[in-house]
Amino acid sequence: MPPSPRGDERASRTPLLEIVVPARNEERRLPGGLLQLCAKLAQMPFPTAVIVVDNNSTDTTADIIRNWPQGEVPVRLVQCATPGKGAAVRAGLLVTKAPLVGFCDADMATDLDAITVAVGLLLGGERVVIGSRAHAFSEVENRHSRVRELGAVGFRALARRLVRGVSDTQCGFKFFDGRLAREVAARLRTPGFAFDVELLARCAAAGAPAMEIPIQWRDMPGSRFSPARHSAGIVLELGRILLRLHAESRGVIRPAWEHAPDPVGSP
Ligand SMILES: Nc1nc2c(ncn2[C@@H]2O[C@H](COP(=O)(O)OP(=O)(O)O)[C@@H](O)[C@H]2O)c(=O)[nH]1
Ligand SMILES: [Mg+2]
């Protein structure tokens, strides 16, 4: 997207919406995904910006962002030393400043038209708006393996205990009131794939339950999630979230962010 005078002027204004994209070893999927995202954001009637958070990728992911041509939608790179999607999204949310923020995956599996819907709802007073593959009006093209599907059923059963009323905690498409997202991100302690559950549980505890919206979602090849490598970790993470939130609510432990060094790492 070549810079234009109008684009330069728009890019220099404070963004109303910032979107975080976690990316690890995404040299193949990220360029196409970012082009789509920037094209969508350039259509919005206000300034926007993108923050890509890399975790020491061993491919050219970081260089792609360093060399990204800056147009109407500025794209910047944040490095997060702590591995994991949760740590990366947290680091990205913590450097945002905009009144509206969100995150989406590098593969842009969720059709980006849903951004317009999410922003409209946030401007109308909702504080947490999330894409849901389980919504009755969603169109989902799923190519996940049987093993992953089976794991997902178990995961959802556990996640429901932590986040009431949300049918799909894991869709990588979530938008927030910016201040709430920054406050909640500061408290997050889950570095891996289960972080969405902690994020939504903490938003609900802060009086902001999530509103699920229908999306068009297509499973993209090249997933970073491996059932064999990540399943045990994700169940452990859920267990830790359950214990921590329970203990915090009963006052058994002080909330993690009040006393502990930051285990997830700051950007
Ligand atoms: N920065 C960072 N991003 C990650 C990490 N793990 C996954 N991601 C990103 O999280 C997003 C979702 O991952 P994806 O592989 O598409 O998972 P799936 O959609 O659940 O199969 C992608 O943008 C990944 O690059 C990580 O350890 N660090
Ligand atoms: Mg994906």
Model pLDDT for residues 153-164, shown as the tens digit of each residue: 888 888 988 999
Q: Are 198 and 242 in contact (CB under 8 A)?
A: no
- Counting atoms of ligand 1 from 1, which one is nearest the CA of 144? 21
Identify residues whose C-beta is under 5 A from ligand 2, the ion: 105, 107, 109
Radius of gyration of the chain (CA): 18
Amino acid occupying residue 106: A
Which pLDDT belongs to residue 154? 84
* Tens digit of each residue's pLDDT (9 = 90 or more) over 9-41: 788 889 999 999 999 999 999 999 999 999 999
CA distance 37 to 3: 16
Determine whether the shortest distance from the Cβ of 88 to ligand 1 is under 6 A: yes
Considering every ligand atom shown, identify the ligand nearest to the alpha carbon of residue 34 and give its number.
1
Q: What confidence category does residue 53 fall into, taking pLDDT thresholds of 50, 70 and 90? A: very high
Determine whether the shortest distance from the Cβ of 223 to ligand 1 is under 6 A: yes
CA–centroid distance, 9 to ligand 1, in Å, is: 33
Sequential DSSP letters for 144-207: --HHHHHHHHHHHHHHHHHSTT-S-S--SEEEEEHHHHHHHHHH----STTHHHHHHHHHHHTT
Which pLDDT belongs to residue 27? 97
Question: What distance, in Å, lies between the first and last C-alpha atoms of the chain?
Answer: 28
* Residues forming a β-bridge with 211: 129
Contacts of 49 (CB under 8 A, 6+ apart): 15, 17, 18, 19, 73, 74, 75, 76, 98
Closest CA to ligand 1's atom 25: 23
Closest CA to ligand 1's atom 7: 85
Enclosing H/E stretch for 33: helix 30-42
Q: What percent of the chain has pLDDT over 90?
A: 73
Q: What confidence category does residue 260 fall into, taking pLDDT thresholds of 50, 70 and 90? A: very low
State both tokens at 31. 């360029």
Closest CA to ligand 1's atom 27: 84
Torsion angle, alpha carbons of 113, 131, 172, 95, to 10: 80
* Tens digit of each residue's pLDDT (9 = 90 or more) over 109-136: 999 999 999 999 999 999 999 999 999 9
CA–centroid distance, 104 to ligand 2, in Å, is: 9
Q: Are 1 and 38 in contact (CB under 8 A)?
A: yes
Q: Domain boundaries in the chain?
A: 5-253
Considering every ligand atom shown, identify the ligand nearest to the alpha carbon of residue 193 and give its number.
1
- Counting atoms of ligand 1 from 1, which one is nearest the CA of 109? 19
Class for the domain spanning 5-253:
alpha beta
Whole-number Cα distances in Å, 257 to 81, 94, 128, 187, 261: 19, 14, 22, 6, 8
Contacts of 25 (CB under 8 A, 6+ apart): 57, 58, 59, 61, 224
Closest CA to ligand 1's atom 21: 223
* Residue in the block written with tokens 């490095």: 79
Pick from 123, 109, 105, 134: which is nearest to 213 by CA? 134
Whole-number Cα distances in Å, 21 to 91, 152, 262: 11, 23, 22
CA–centroid distance, 256 to ligand 2, in Å, is: 30
CA–centroid distance, 32 to ligand 2, in Å, is: 14
Q: What confidence category does residue 145 fall into, taking pLDDT thresholds of 50, 70 and 90? A: confident
Q: Are 82 and 14 in contact (CB under 8 A)?
A: no
Determine whether the shortest distance from the Cβ of 26 to ligand 1 is under 6 A: yes
User: Helices (H) and strands (E) in the chain — how many of each?
Assistant: 10, 9
Pick from 56, 57, 54, 59: which is nearest to 76 by CA? 54
